[in-house]
Structure 1
Amino acid sequence: MTSLLQKKLEEKTYEILFELEDEFDLDLKSLPEVYYVGRNFNPYEVGLPIRLDFSLKKTALFFPKYNVIFTATKDEGVLGEEVGHFIHHQFLHKRHIKEVPLSLEHFGMGVVREAIGFFCSKLIDPKRRSQYKKDNFLFKKSLEGVLRHIRYIAIMGEYEHLIHQQGYLIGEKMYQGYLSGGIDIGDVKEVLQKPLKGKNEAFYEFIKLRQRFVGGKFFKQNLIKKKNLSKT
């Protein structure tokens, strides 16, 4: 039963990958490995020195270091998100910026990743909804206010939650813009293919995407310059 489900999940994941590849008009040179995470799954048995110390119930996870997608679900929207992460990662191979945890670079890159992933999931499953209802940045009036809130959230242990919240929000708004004709797939492809190699480039990209697709007090009034980030 497990081997049959493993095969079906592999086939479904690759089917989604090829669909997204066609949608973005890409020619990818590699495929991710796909593993079904059942009750007794052990990554060491398939040659992967990874400790899965988290619950994968009804979800999936892309590990870029090993080019692997682990999944405990056949939900197409969830698989679409992880395939989106895989595709996005193919254009970040020249990126040599070290993402220090809790840094501007780490936060910005995380949000961009999640935005791309959620947009891809909506292409596969248009009915998929984000579980994040709140927008923590809606009423922030300055860059300093945004940064203070990021640091506060980090202290409270909800840093990854904030990254996903902002990424899903931007991804949803991008998808709505795509449906309405406000943007086309080429606009999203441009974001997808950016290597984001410069210092704080990823955080600046988050600011631009947030301003363009979501807004909020600070984001409607300001487009910060990259050089200003070095002062924060």
Structure 2
Amino acid sequence: MRASLALHLALFRRQKAQIARVIEGQTAAFRAYEARYRRRTSEYRRVLPAHAVSQQVRASDVVYVGDYHTLPLAQETYLDLVEGVRESERRVVLALECVEGRHQASVDAYLAGRLAERVLLSRLGLGPGQGSGSGPRALLAYAKRHRLQVVAIDRRAQGERSLELRDAYAAERIARALRAGDQPRVLVLVGQYHVAPCHLPAQVERALGEASGARSLVVYQNAEGVYWRLAREGKVGAAQAVELPDGALCLLNASPVVCQQSFLDYLEAEAGDSPLGERGATERFRELASLIGRLAGVSVGRWLDDAEVVTAADEDALVRIQQRGRFTQGELAQLRRHILSRESCYIPRARTAYLASLSLNHAAEEAAHFVRHCAVGDAMDAPRGASDAFYARCLEEALGFFGSKLVNPRRGCVGTGEWALRFAQARGVERQIAAFVLAHKAAEVEVPHEAVKLLPLRKDRLFHGVSHALGYLLGDALYQGFDQGLVDRTEVRALFRNPLEDPRLTYFDWVRRLSR
């Protein structure tokens, strides 16, 4: 197995375990439901050209499209399929899992122009900042713009039979739409597991009756088993769609790692944060670097074209970084661990920003690091003793967080109160990090000359975790001072240009300055 594929697969497994820890209480029925889906999507028969997918959609009466709810590209692809048949001779109906059936009257009123979008989204439980992009809002807006009927097919259900009950409810509503006298074509958008032929499609067949003769098509998106098989065969990128042994199709428009990340980003999203979109990551990074550079008084224009932006979606992320700088085997191993830790970073030697998350906050933070690199050059990556390296990293983290706050002032920072709570409740490394952070913050005020004795210099995870936390705290204080007029632009510019010849002194100078 290629090293790049092995890393991508390792990241997938790491994130899968992380998601499993978040999603608690999976029932035996859910596990069986998932297993049936995975068996159906473990292999593929042949690669298909894009036009073959369109032909099969046009030849079907009902098309079940698998959705990954937090991945905008999944909904965009669904709308692409709708667009391909919208102007055919048959009326098109959208059957959407993202809307519960109890809201059907509100949806109908919105589509008829009798209900404002704002009111509809409120009734659907989509508050400010939700329902944007290619989620429910875009799907419903598309339907209204093109005067398409929407059938809300979800319902609330709990317990062992929840999936079965939801499928049965959706099936009845889909079957009712298919029975209309003008024989519309129904395109269903529903969670990926539901579209396995033995799940929702089977329920619809039962609801319609054996004599219906309705032609159905299942279209998965980025099924993991199919994707990794293609990856091992070196066909990812070349294959846009494949046909599975049972005749279902699978579209390949994003890696399973990206799908997972969209969910993790959704869980971890901070106030004011927003997704970049994989295709716009580089362009957005450059915009943010230019913005932060102007405030910092650092000219970044001539360096931007040479800057590289790599995301976790890039299977060859580590290879691309390695090609842009000289790294020892130990340093490459450290970079690999960093990628697996799902943390973004800026690598000065490679002039590369690695974005573990396609979020505005991550991109802005690494853009600030890039601006800093443009200002001080090789001094940013200069070799230092352990103590100086610790405080230098605190300051670099502070400037990164400060830069992200310039872009998103609503971004929160874990304060000492939260660190105290983590110390009381957490275990292992997280608790140790909290202990070091709290001890260092106390020493900063009372006995700053003793603080250097409280540095975790021998263990990488503690070194990075504690310097990261202290840096964020300083960066947040720096932004608050700047926002309140206590720190002026000249001082900020000087800090961005400071080569940190004595990082410990600089760190404590700013701590004292901002704690007055």
Q: Is TM-score (shorter-chain normalized) higher than 0.5?
A: yes
Correspondence for 1:44? 319
Report the Cα offset of residue 40 of structure 1. 3.1
Amino acid paired to 1:203: R
Correspondence for 1:159? 463
The alignment's C-alpha RMSD in Å is 2.8
Correspondence for 1:84? 368
| Contact 1:173/1:213 (8 A) holds in 2 | yes
| Contact 2:310/2:317 (8 A) holds in 1 | no
Correspondence for 2:409? 126
Report the Cα offset of residue 55 of structure 1. 4.0
Amino acid paired to 1:181: G
Partners of 1:25 and 1:144 in 2: CA distance: 33
2:513 to 201, 206, 212: 212
1:176 to 480, 483, 502: 480
The 1:111/1:124 distance shift into structure 2, 3 A limit, reads same
Query: In the alignment, does 2:452 pair up with 1:147?
Result: yes
For 1:82, what is the secondary structure of its paired residue? helix
Report the Cα offset of residue 131 of structure 1. 3.5
| Contact 1:56/1:72 (8 A) holds in 2 | no
Report the Cα offset of residue 62 of structure 1. 0.7
Task: Tell me whether 10-19 or 70-79 shows the greater mean CA deviation.
Answer: 70-79
Cα deviation 1:3-22 (Å, max 9, x = unaligned):
9x553111111111111122
The 1:79/1:56 distance shift into structure 2, 3 A limit, reads farther
| Contact 2:310/2:352 (8 A) holds in 1 | yes
Correspondence for 1:35? 310
For 1:65, what is the secondary structure of its paired residue? helix
Query: In the alignment, does 2:492 pair up with 1:188?
Result: yes
Cα deviation 1:164-216 (Å, max 9, x = unaligned):
1211111101111111111122211111111223xxx111101101111136x
The structure in which a higher percent of residues are helix is 2
For 2:353, what is the secondary structure of its paired residue? strand
Identity of aligned residues (%): 19
The structure in which a higher percent of residues are strand is 2
For 1:70, what is the secondary structure of its paired residue? strand
Correspondence for 1:114? 397
Which aligned segments of 4 or more residues in structure 1 are displaced greater than 6 angstroms? none
Correspondence for 1:221? none
Cα deviation 1:139-182 (Å, max 9, x = unaligned):
323244212211xx335652222211211111101111111111
Partners of 1:2 and 1:67 in 2: CA distance: 26
Correspondence for 1:68? 352
Partners of 1:63 and 1:97 in 2: CA distance: 12
The 1:53/1:174 distance shift into structure 2, 3 A limit, reads same
Report the Cα offset of residue 90 of structure 1. 2.2
Gaps of 5+ in 1: 216-232
The 1:196/1:139 distance shift into structure 2, 3 A limit, reads closer
| Contact 2:395/2:507 (8 A) holds in 1 | yes
For 1:172, what is the secondary structure of its paired residue? helix
| Contact 1:109/1:202 (8 A) holds in 2 | yes
For 1:110, what is the secondary structure of its paired residue? helix
Correspondence for 1:99? 384
Gaps of 5+ in 2: 1-252, 256-276, 420-437
Partners of 2:390 and 2:320 in 1: CA distance: 33
Q: TM-score, normalised by structure 2?
A: 0.37
Q: Which has the higher contact order (CA 8 A, sep 6+)?
A: 1
Correspondence for 2:279? 7
| Contact 2:457/2:463 (8 A) holds in 1 | yes
Cα deviation 1:91-143 (Å, max 9, x = unaligned):
3326395213xx22111211110111110010011111124543433332324
Amino acid paired to 2:498: K
Matches within 5 A, 1:18-29: 18-28=290-300, 29=302
For 1:126, what is the secondary structure of its paired residue? coil
| Contact 1:37/1:56 (8 A) holds in 2 | no
The 1:7/1:26 distance shift into structure 2, 3 A limit, reads same
Partners of 2:482 and 2:313 in 1: CA distance: 36
The 1:165/1:93 distance shift into structure 2, 3 A limit, reads same
Correspondence for 1:230? none
